[in-house]
Amino acid sequence: MEGCSLFVILLLGIGCGQLVAGISVEKDLSLTLSQKNALDKFRAQVEPLLDQSYMKNDIYLIRWLRARNFDLRSAENMLRENLKWRREQKIDGIRKEDWNDMRRDYHATIDTYDKEGRPIGVIDIYDWDIRRAVLQGKGQRLLRYMDYLLESITTQVFERQDRGMNVTQWKVLGNADGFNLIEHGCPLCIPLWIQFIQGLENHYHGWLDELIVIDAPSTINVILEAVRPFLTRQTRDAFRIFGPNKTKWMPYIEERIAKSERRPQYGGTKPPVNY
């Protein structure tokens, strides 16, 4: 690859000729020499804190450095806060918890992949009655369910890396047909959206490749404006919001996700899920 000598290529021993075409993957796998030196120093500082093998991978450590613009002290503080949160919230065991009550009412799947092999979390937003969860006293339960989904899809990235796949991020695909300000954007709902975004930025920063939403009505801007102050530029740049015009969103999705990996509401052939 021309110009490869300008970068130190990391993760799983991948060499220059093995990089996939995705720009975001290449960015994840490449560091300047000064950034590589910062990574080595960061590893020496934090490795005694890391109790999971995946946490010692280059790509995991790079996440914290990139989130803090390679400021070692700031990155270490962010990582320490994340590890504290994981201990207090028992995140290592969250995938073993019983989520049947939430799965019935808040549909989500993590069983499809884009053309580069990234896992895709698919959420039919119209099924998610946020207001009802709050009124039933299940707001925090719903937020923990979202943490479960984030942890599950990130774990899939690590599992794919263990199998030698060049995957460093995940996608989210959502259908916003039926979104409304009563069930999804009410004054009681907005704090949950904000807390979710704060959790994403604090604990899963950099893992999102793209958030693609189709059939979005103009009212979805209420949520987008509410969470905007809490979004980093990297996350904002990952948002792709499409209205109901199928001729706009279909080519975009088809370029990234095979038809066999999409269910009918996204123009695909994958069988629907029976929740």
pLDDT tens track for 50-93: 999 999 999 999 999 999 999 999 999 999 999 999 999 999 99
For residue 209, the 8-state DSSP code is E
pLDDT given for residue 146 in this prediction = 98
pLDDT given for residue 11 in this prediction = 33
Burial 247-265 (b: 16+ CB within 10 A, else e): eebeeebeebbeeebbbee
Predicted confidence (pLDDT) at residue 14 exceeds the cutoff of 60: no
CB hemisphere CA count around 167 (13 angstroms): 25
pTM of the model: 0.89
Say whether both 79 and 175 belong to one domain: no
Q: Are 171 and 121 in contact (CB under 8 A)?
A: yes
Predicted confidence (pLDDT) at residue 118 exceeds the cutoff of 80: yes
Say whether both 56 and 111 belong to one domain: no
Smallest Cα–Cα separation from 201: which of 92, 88, 63, 93? 63
Q: CA 157, 57, 96, 83 torsion: positive or negative?
A: negative
In a domain, 271, yes or no: no
In a domain, 241, yes or no: yes
Q: Using the 3D structure, point to which of 89, 111, 139 is the last residue of a domain.
A: 89
Say whether both 78 and 110 belong to one domain: no
pLDDT given for residue 24 in this prediction = 56
Q: How many residues does the chain have?
A: 275
Say whether both 50 and 119 belong to one domain: no
Say whether both 69 and 109 belong to one domain: no
For residue 273, the 8-state DSSP code is P
Q: Using the 3D structure, point to which of 60, 89, 118 is the last residue of a domain.
A: 89
Say whether both 121 and 231 belong to one domain: yes
Say whether both 108 and 84 belong to one domain: no
d(CA 214, CA 254): 13
In a domain, 275, yes or no: no
Say whether both 141 and 73 belong to one domain: no
Instruction: Indicate the number of domains in the chain.
Output: 2
Say whether both 45 and 108 belong to one domain: no
Range of the domain at 112: 99-266
Cα angle 168, 170, 174 (rounded to 5 degrees) comes to 170
Q: Are 257 and 115 in contact (CB under 8 A)?
A: yes
d(CA 181, CA 99): 26
